[in-house]
A = this chain, B = another copy of it.
């Protein structure tokens, strides 16, 4: 029989996204996303200059099992690789019939979504935006502002992460800066 888990609390700081106590901290630098940004020459140049920090995820320690809810805060730093804004790797869930929910806390971002069949969706997130990622949609977040883009996320304990499909195929759309504004363009390297 499943043993009984005890209730517990963590404390979230809305201003900076820090949540304590957290279990796992994920740090992604540009070297972790080699090949995911369109401009390879700029990527290599930035890596030579010092491998910038793109984003961090703080996840609270909850069992990854069906019926549980995993929650975390993500902090995407402001910046660009060429014209392309700093972004997360993006992923499908391993169990694709599971949803995810994001709550914007600070800064401005885009949530970019797509299906295996090539449907694409994008929405802007600001503080208070509750974005719903339905089952079967891959999702990536992008900082389109000048300060950290911070959001709180919740997903089912049995969702799991499939990064491989996006690493191989990319997203159909890229979010780039044109005349100081974010614009979606087709990704010439998609699939």
Contact = CB atoms under 8 A, between A and B. Distances in A.
Contact of A130 (B4, B71, B125, B129): B71
Interface in A109-141: 111, 113, 115, 119, 121, 123, 125, 127-137
A7 B132 contact: yes
- Per assembly, the copies of the chain total 2
Interface residues of A, number: 50
Contacts of A152: 103
A130 to B, nearest CB: 5
A41 interface: no
A67 B134 CA distance: 9
A121 B6 contact: yes
26 contacts: A2-B97, A4-B119, A4-B134, A5-B134, A6-B121, A7-B111, A7-B131, A7-B132, A7-B137, A8-B132, A9-B132, A10-B130, A11-B128, A11-B129, A11-B130, A12-B103, A12-B129, A14-B14, A14-B127, A60-B132, A67-B98, A68-B134, A69-B132, A69-B154, A99-B157, A154-B154
Interface of A: 2, 4-14, 19, 60, 62, 66-69, 71, 95, 97-101, 103, 111, 113, 115, 119, 121, 123, 125, 127-137, 152, 154-157
